[in-house]
Structure 1
Amino acid sequence: MHIAPHDNQNKPIVDIDNPTVPLNYFNIVKLQKGEAFHYQVPGYETCIVPATGTVTVEVEGLTFDKLGNRGEDVWDGEPEGVYIPVGAKVTIICTSDETETFIAGAKYDKVLEPFDVRVDGIDLVQYGSDDTKTHRKIKHILGQKQHGKVGRLLVSELFTVGQGGWSGFPAHKHDTDRLPHETRHDETYNFRFRPKHGSGVQILQREEGVPGEAYQLMDGSTFMIDKGYHPCAVMPGYEMYYFTILGGLSQRSLVQYFQPTHAYQIETIPGIKDMVAKFK
C-alpha cells in the first residue's frame, strides 16, 4: 500500500496494529531547535534515526546526546540510531537548527535495554553492479551486529550507487512463516530522491505468474508491504534512498524467498549473497 507524501504533523504514518503491516510502526518527527517530542509505544520496540539534524534522546533515565550528524539530506553524512525498549517513555529534543527524525518500530513482547548505534557501529554492505543495473549500498543501523540486543526489529538505509537501476531484485517475498524457506516479516519503506523531483516505481506482485501492481514513488513516499514480490526501480538520472523497517513475526532473522522465475539471477549479481546474510 502506497501512502503519498504529506505533512503527518508528527503523528504516526504507520500506527500500532496497522491492518496492512501490524508488525510495523513508523513515524516522522519534525522539530525546530529546542523543541521536544514525547512518545511511548506499548507493545512495540522502536529505533530513533535522525534523517537530518541532531537530537538528544532521553529514555527511562538515560540520555543519548548528539545523535545524528546529517545536514541537508540523508546523503549528507552517516546514520546513527538509538534502540528504545518496548513501551518505554521517550523524549526527543532537537539540538540543531531543525531535525527530521524517523521512528521505526516492530511488535515485540519483551523489554530489553536501550542502547545507541553511532557511526562506527553501522554495518555497511555494497552489492550489485553497474552492468546489471543493481548497484546498491545498504547501511544497517539495527542489523547483524546488534542481533542479541534486539527482539524482532531490523532497521537499515538503502542507497543507489549511481543513477537509475533496480533494487530488491531478484524479486523476493517474506510473507509466510515456513522455515527454512521463508519468514513472515512485514516491511515499510520511506523513499527519498536526489534531486528531490526524482521518481521511481514500486512493483507488488501477489502471485507468481499473475500480473501485479505498480505505484509511482515520489520524494517522501511511504510504502507498506504485507505480501508478495516487491522489487523497485529509480528513473535514470536520479539517485534513490529508502529507509527500511522490517518486523518479524516469530524471529528477527529474515529469510527471503526468491521468486522462482528470477531466482537464477542471484548468480549474476555480485555480492548479493553477502547482502542477504546481513539481515539477521
Structure 2
Amino acid sequence: MNSGKWGISNYSRVFHQIAVDEKHPAVKLMVGETFTPSGNWSTYPPHRHERHNPPEEVFLEEIYYYRVDHPKGWGLARHYSDDGAIDFAGVIKDDTLHLIPKGYHTVVAAPGFTVYYLWFLAGEERVQIPYVDPEMRFIDQATKMIKNIEDNLSV
C-alpha cells in the first residue's frame, strides 16, 4: 500500500492508495482513502478527471464515501464544472456518498473534526492524472514555496 501526504499546510491530508497498482489486479477500479484533518482542505487545488487526454488528464468516474469522526461532525464539498452546469456546495456528514462523474471537486473538514473518505475511481485506464482547475494552478507554485520554507526552517 502506497501512503503519504498530499498538499501542505492547511491543505494537507494523509492518503493510502489501497488498490491502485498492478499488485491489486483490476480492470478498471482503483481504491484509496484520505484523512483530512480539522480545518484542512482536501483534493486541493480542485481537480477533475473528465476527459481522456493523456498525459494531461485521464477520464475517471469517482465516488467519495465520507465518514466524520464525531456524530455532530461535518465538512463541506464543492463540485463544479467549467460550463457552470454543475455548481454545488454542500454539507458532508458521516455516512455521506458523493458521486463525481465529472467536474472539479474539493473538500474541507470543519474545525474540530476529521473528515475521512474512501474513494473509488474507475475508467478505461488505471492511472491517476488529475487535471487541476487552471484558475487554481498558482496554488501548486505556492505549495513548492511553502515546502521550501518549511524545509529550510527545519534545518
1:228 and 2:103 correspond: yes
Cα distance, 1:209 vs structure 2: 7.4
Pick aligned residue for 1:268 from 135, 142, 149: 142
Pick aligned residue for 1:154 from 17, 25, 30: 30
What is the aligned-residue RMSD (CA, Å)? Answer: 1.9
**Identical aligned pairs, as a percentage?**
27
Cα distance, 1:261 vs structure 2: 0.4
Cα distance, 1:145 vs structure 2: 5.8
Residue-by-residue CA offset, 1:144-178 (whole Å, 9 max, x unaligned):
3636x322111001002x31111111111111112
Return the alpha-carbon distance in structure 2 between the equivalents of residues 192 and 198 of structure 1: 9
1:138 and 2:15 correspond: yes
Distance 1:226 1:211, change over 3 A: closer
Return the alpha-carbon distance in structure 2 between the equivalents of residues 203 and 255 of structure 1: 20
Residue 50 of structure 1: aligned partner: none
Q: Flag the structure with larger Rg.
A: 1
Please state whether the residue corresponding to 1:175 is helix, strand or coil.
Answer: coil
1:203 and 2:78 correspond: yes
Cα distance, 1:135 vs structure 2: 1.7
Would you say the 8 A contact 1:154–1:247 is kept in 2? yes
Return the alpha-carbon distance in structure 2 between the equivalents of residues 168 and 193 of structure 1: 16
Runs in 1 of length 4+ with deviation above 4 angstroms? 208-211
Distance 1:135 1:213, change over 3 A: same
State the number of aligned residues: 144
- The letter of the residue matching 2:19 is L
1:253 and 2:130 correspond: no
TM-score w.r.t. the length of structure 2 is 0.84
Q: How does 1:7-18 map to 2 (within 5 A)?
A: none
Would you say the 8 A contact 1:173–1:230 is kept in 2? yes
- The letter of the residue matching 1:262 is M
Cα distance, 1:267 vs structure 2: 2.4
1:165 and 2:44 correspond: no
Give the structure with the larger helix fraction: 2
- The letter of the residue matching 1:167 is S
Please state whether the residue corresponding to 1:268 is helix, strand or coil.
Answer: helix
Cα distance, 1:255 vs structure 2: 1.5
- The letter of the residue matching 1:258 is V
- The letter of the residue matching 2:31 is V
Please state whether the residue corresponding to 1:230 is helix, strand or coil.
Answer: strand
Would you say the 8 A contact 2:74–2:110 is kept in 1? yes
Q: How does 1:1-280 map to 2 (within 5 A)?
A: 122-130=1-9, 133-144=10-21, 146=23, 149-160=25-36, 162-207=37-82, 212-248=87-123, 250-269=124-143
Return the alpha-carbon distance in structure 2 between the equivalents of residues 211 and 261 of structure 1: 16
Cα distance, 1:196 vs structure 2: 2.6
Query: Gaps spanning 5+ residues in structure 1: where?
Result: 1-121, 271-280
Return the alpha-carbon distance in structure 1 between the equivalents of residues 129 and 68 of structure 2: 28
Distance 1:151 1:185, change over 3 A: same
TM-score w.r.t. the length of structure 1 is 0.48
Return the alpha-carbon distance in structure 2 between the equivalents of residues 166 and 232 of structure 1: 6
